[in-house]
Amino acid sequence: MPTRITGARRTVIAALAVLTLSGVTTVPVQADAGAGDRGKDRRLLRLIRSMTLEEKAAQLFVLQVYGKSADTTDPADVARNRRLYGLDNAAQLIARYKPGGIIYYSADPPNVTDPQQLAAFSNGIQRAAMATPIPIPATIATDQEGGIVARVQPPATQSPGSMALAAGRRTGDARAMARITGRELRAIGINQDYAPDADVNVNPANPVIGVRSFGSDPALVSRMVAAQVDGYREGGVTGTVKHFPGHGDTRLDSHTSVPRIEHTREEWERIDLPPFKAAIARGADSIMTAHLIFPALDPSEDPSTLSKPIITGLLREKLGYKGVIVTDALDMKGVRDKYGDDRVPVLALKAGVDVLLKPPSFDANGDGLFRVQLNAVVNAVRGGELTERRIEESVYRILALKKKRGLFRDPYVDESKVGQVVGKPASLATAQRATDRTTTLVKNDARLLPLRPGARKVLVAGWGVTTTRAIADEFTKRGATTAVQESGVSPTPERIQQTVAAAQDQDLIVAVTNRAWDIETSTPGNPHNGPGQMNLVKALIATGKPVVVVAARDPYDIAWFTEAQTYVATYSYTAEALRSLGKVLFGELSPAGKLPVTIPVRDKPGQTLYPFGHGLSYRR
């Protein structure tokens, strides 16, 4: 057990270490380095050894807070934070517990209003962190994958999602978008992005990954992931490659159930592993675990986040990974079913992880579980189940990464310069050019496309209030008269009848789908949308009117209505994607995207409907 340093001497030593780390002084700091500490930064080691066990354990946690500022006094946010932590806001949380980091969310309710607000929020978090007796800058993280997963919305630049980028096939676009995303996040104080997604989506029914993956081909996914690892680093943020050992072949969502991967060890090495190996070879700073059971890798059937054979045996030892390993959120059902919430963080640390992300918000009594999990880690050390040295190993990796990002030198952002970095015209133009290379024309049997601009009556129907309206606007710009019938994710028979009636006096119908799948709709954790969208498309086709079907998310929808003669995949419903769609529909842009997945025949996964690499273009 290391020697305990307390009181004023502890504060002075910690301050000296931080000053040295920030480059303010070069006074040598001695450390009693053991054999396992050779080659490590002695200033970081001394800083760690000035911390109490509780402070070391807290440094492992990245927590959710409510509010839009570090010192929020909003009554609703204060009430939520008190339930979680017994404290009012992020500033009080940091002063009391000194956690390693904070994660921003865009819902439930959101932390995010706009980039300027986030920059002020981030500075508030860092001020609170640097005001503690041992001033350690905070990790501030979010999920900004691009496409359908983007916590920071416009005016921030919106990257195409992973599958869209892969449809464009350009690693340069993937790298450039990660670099732009990283720069914009760093400008608003976010220093870690939980992206890119390295899962190989070989299961079209995957309810949680889908277009978040670069595709179904391990080689393509590997190239794109490696490019984004480089891009995020160039942008100044820590990228986080996820979800090890691979979440691409599940039919269940680990947020709400416990998925199983039935791949053999050989299949894992051939399908799931290559992108992670590529990321490690590029020097990935952080890797996120998956909450799923993988019997071929661990016969105990522990969730991989809690599996020592997977995290230590494979990731650390076989693959030689030395970076920071972060759990997926600990409030997800995939990691909570087998063991109690008080055991999960201890088992994750024993498995080999470093960062414990987002403990469950509330237990059965409505109390926050962070304190339960923090105490569990501390008590595991005091009881001998974990060693303090083991905790220090993870704390060292976390602090070394913070130092690498320059946070000890300067954890703050210049709020006056946010507008000069976030959403720059050049960045927006880069995002649009990249998106323009992704739109995929899968089917054009009726030779309906490209359309000619001019007067016609167009009905835009189907999923998405904003999406259907934006597509209608693309037609209006080009001289059409448009009507919109938004029907939601599961249109009722009555809603379908209304839409068909509205189509009767139209010249053209655009039907928008978002996972129009009818797959095991009653299975917990498999939230597919049922037959409503499929039935709507079929009913619109039956009118005899020309119909363009637009898959605004997963490209697999065509398998549920193969009678559709015209089918376009956009992979997301960002403004950029819908502008690109408009250009493609009217021939201003020849569709350039190629399918990054295989689309199988419905209910026959072994039979191919459209192969990987398929994509039509216009003859000039």
Catalytic positions, please? 255, 328
Residue ranges of alpha helices (H) inside 236-292 are: 265-267, 273-281
C-beta of residue 584 within 8 angstroms of C-beta of residue 442: no
Say how far apart CA 587 and CA 111 lie, in whole Å: 41
Distance (Å, whole) CA 307 – CA 480: 58
Using CB atoms within 10 Å of the CB of residue 383, give its burial: 0 to 12 exposed, 13 to 18 middle, 19+ buried. Answer: exposed
Report CA 148 to chain centroid distance, whole Å: 9
Note the maximum CA span of the chain.
Answer: 83
Amino acid identity at 571: Y
CA distances to 152, 426, 435 from 177, rounded to whole Å, are: 14, 12, 10
Dihedrals φ, ψ of 336, to 5°?
-105, -15
Could you tell me which of 136, 240, 226 has the C-alpha nearest to residue 185?
240
- DSSP of 416-458: GGHHHHTT-HHHHHHHHHHHHTT-EEEEETT--PSPPPS--EE
> How does strand 149-150 pair with strand 144-146?
antiparallel
Instruction: Tell me the C-alpha distance between 238 and 194, whole Å.
Output: 8
How is residue 88 annotated by DSSP? S
DSSP summary character for residue 524: T
Angle subtended at Cα 236 by Cα 230 and Cα 239, rounded to the nearest 5 degrees? 55
- C-alpha 425/C-alpha 421 separation (Å) is 10
SS3 (DSSP) at 464: coil
Beta bridge partners of residue 293, listed in sequence order: 260
Which residues make Cβ contacts (< 8 Å) with residue 159, sequence separation at least 6? Answer: 144, 145, 146, 147, 150, 165, 177, 178, 180, 181, 431, 434
Sign of CA dihedral 455, 457, 459, 465: positive
Nearest to 151 by CA among 116, 113, 101, 180: 113
Dihedral sign computed on CA atoms, order 518, 520, 524, 526: negative
> What's the rounded Cα separation, in Å, for the pair 563 and 609?
12
Q: Of all helices (H) and strands (E), which one includes residue 234?
A: helix 218-235
CA dihedral (26, 31, 35, 41) positive or negative: negative
